[in-house]
């Protein structure tokens, strides 16, 4: 009897899965996650590498190191992710219109 190798299909990473994980990263001052605040501009997945493009509410945001570290940590928790890079972008400029309806209600908009 021939020995057959079982092929186990690995689950492919999805943008939705990464975004779901990023919703666990909260803005400690506002108590709202960074996705609902509109800070995540794009998630690009190539092989098992994840590139996240995000912004801040202002260029001089003092929370920048906190967000960069926690976004990377959150994405690395996803099974199958090998490498995560987080890039800050400031175009288009963030504005309150990017905040989700859910977060707007929570913030009293």
**pLDDT at position 3, please?**
46
Q: Distance between CA 35 and CA 18 in Å, rounded?
A: 11
pLDDT tens-digit profile, the chain (109 residues): 454 444 444 568 899 999 999 999 999 999 999 999 999 999 999 999 999 999 999 988 999 999 999 999 999 999 999 999 999 999 999 999 999 999 999 998 8
CB contact at 8 A, 40 and 52 = yes
| pLDDT score of 12 | 84
- Domain annotation for the chain: domains and CATH numbers: 15-100 (3.30.300.130)
Contact between 79 and 86 (Cβ < 8 Å): no
Query: What kind and span of H or E run contains 84?
Result: strand 83-88
What predicted TM-score, i.e. pTM, was given to this entire model? 0.85
- Would you state the pLDDT for residue 9? 45
């Amino acid at each position: 009897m021939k020995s057959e190798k079982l092929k186990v299909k690995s689950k492919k990473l999805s943008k939705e899965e990464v975004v779901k994980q990023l919703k666990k990263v909260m803005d400690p001052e506002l108590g709202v996650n960074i996705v609902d605040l509109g800070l995540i501009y794009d998630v690009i997945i190539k092989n098992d590498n994840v590139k996240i493009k995000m912004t801040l509410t202002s260029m001089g945001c003092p929370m920048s190191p906190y967000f960069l570290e926690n976004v990377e940590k959150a994405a690395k928790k996803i099974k199958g992710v090998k490498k995560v890079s987080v890039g800050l972008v400031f175009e288009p400029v963030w504005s309150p219109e990017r905040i989700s309806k859910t977060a707007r209600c929570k913030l009293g908009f």
